[in-house]
Chain A
């Protein structure tokens, strides 16, 4: 009962906001091109989601047809770039971060460069990325991997450096080799930090994908809402924005579920 009441209070404010928005439109207080009504956005969103063609068995299976809508195509395109960029960025950051955290020499060598490059927003790499990679997926994936790289790197370094020395003492006492110390003690002890970094990196990757699609690619959610502006389809812009929001929320929820599942042993400071 209590849970239902909790859930009900959660939808109260969104409903009121939508109601107010609908009121603005219905009363004709704002121009529909500037701010279309929620109903118009919903209708457009459905049209955007629906397959473009009529179902034709000769063209392929029913399932294929179901997923042939423009929105699904865009969302999958964005998701593909996010995942590829994230895997590349985090995949490079993790070994470097582990090395920098573990070895004082590696830290002294790499940290100055990292500190200089880190404050440069991924978006500032746009001109270079186009110069280097032209247009299409490569520059977008490049930008996204930069976005994912630094959060994962910094958190991994901190995670390894902050491993409680008592665990290392126990490891030495039990006779663990350096390799065992690293794989069985340092690595697991650092995972809460690494997962936090991955979650932040994924969030950054998702921001960067939208931006990169606005400049370098001709599909994906970012491209679509910019295209809609050209035609003054504000309902489609907003429908696209909500899709971006929902997709982002979905990814973050998934990351957080995954991390609390893998960190069952942890005291759980970062739930939610």
Chain B
């Protein structure tokens, strides 16, 4: 089965040491993601969705179990799995175009090719007029566009996104979601996208993986078959949203109970 899938997560466990106690962040996770699929990881905070994403990125490897990409086991971070962070993480000392060019320079691409690629990406994300600006002079939405362009420059088949639009206002957010869908359709990327917003997951994903609160397991794996562009006001969309809310509320209440217990012990 793993031969046909692009990203394969096989029986992954992740255990953290926290205050002398072992915390099971991930437990027996199995996921097969085919090439070109848009997958959202959905769950309450503390459910391990970012832990799973970081494991795929190679920042924090599983305690046991395997993650493979095209059959090769992941042991470290790499430019084949470009990551977009919630806090943008642009290099403030580089201009917009320097940020986008950085990954290409690391690859050793020749100068003319870098310039052409950067110009193309900046045009794609409507950043051309801002190319000489530093990140401090950009709005949050603009910064996240640059971060997306920086990852696209790597030409990696996989994009990992850790709540990338979480800090944006609703309008900017919808705008960037639409752009991301356009880019995804155009470039055929495999996207693994972490979010805690049900609507965001349903608006974007081919498939939504709901995770449980500690230990993080896959609660359910739901295909989203709605035609695109999706209408957030349609009955079908809202029916799915209602189902997912129900599932998520169960986990949220487990999260709350755990917090109350924690508070009582404190």
Residues of A within 8 A of B (CB): 166-167, 169-170, 172-177, 180, 184-185, 188-189, 191, 264-267
Contacts and interface: CB of A to CB of B under 8 A. Distances in A.
B140 interface: no
Contact of B77 (A172, A184, A266): A172
Given A174-B79, A176-B106, A267-B92, 7 more contacts: A172-B59, A173-B57, A173-B78, A173-B82, A174-B102, A175-B154, A189-B91
- With a 10 A CB-CB cut-off, give which of B77, B82, B85 has the most chain A CB atoms: B77
Contact of B85 (A170, A184, A185, A191): A170
Contacts of B135: 265
Contacts of B150: 174
A188 B59 contact: no
A60 B250 CA distance: 93
Interface string B70-87: 000000111101110101
B106 A267 contact: no
A87 B2 CA distance: 60
Contacts of A172: 59, 76-77
Contacts of A166: 85, 87, 89
6 contacts: A166-B89, A167-B91, A174-B150, A175-B103, A189-B93, A265-B94
Contacts of A265: 92-95, 134-136
Contacts of A191: 93
A175 B93 contact: no
B107 interface: yes
Interface residues of B, number: 26
Given A264-B134, A265-B136, A174 B89 contact: no
Contact of A169 (B77, B102, B107): B77
Interface in B93-140: 93-95, 102-103, 106-107, 134-136
B102 A175 contact: no
The 8 closest A-B pairs by CB, nearest first: A175-B79, A188-B93, A265-B134, A174-B103, A172-B77, A166-B89, A265-B93, A173-B77
Given A180-B106, A264-B134, A265-B136, A173 B91 contact: no
Interface string B175-187: 0000000000000
Contacts of B106: 174-177, 180
Nearest to B57: A173
B89 A169 contact: yes
A167 B89 contact: yes
Contacts of A170: 83, 85, 89, 91
A266 B106 CA distance: 24
A185 B91 contact: yes
B161 to A, nearest CB: 12
Contacts of B82: 173-174
Nearest to A180: B106
A197 to B, nearest CB: 17
B103 to A, nearest CB: 4
A184 B102 contact: yes
Contact of B81 (A169, A173, A177, A266): A173
A175 B107 CA distance: 8
Contact of B83 (A173, A180, A185, A264): A173
Nearest to A185: B91
Contacts of A169: 59, 77, 83, 85, 89
A267 B136 contact: yes
Nearest to B95: A265
B92 A266 contact: yes
A170 B91 CA distance: 9
Contacts of A177: 106
B78 A175 contact: yes
Contacts of B77: 169, 172-173, 175
A158 B79 CA distance: 30
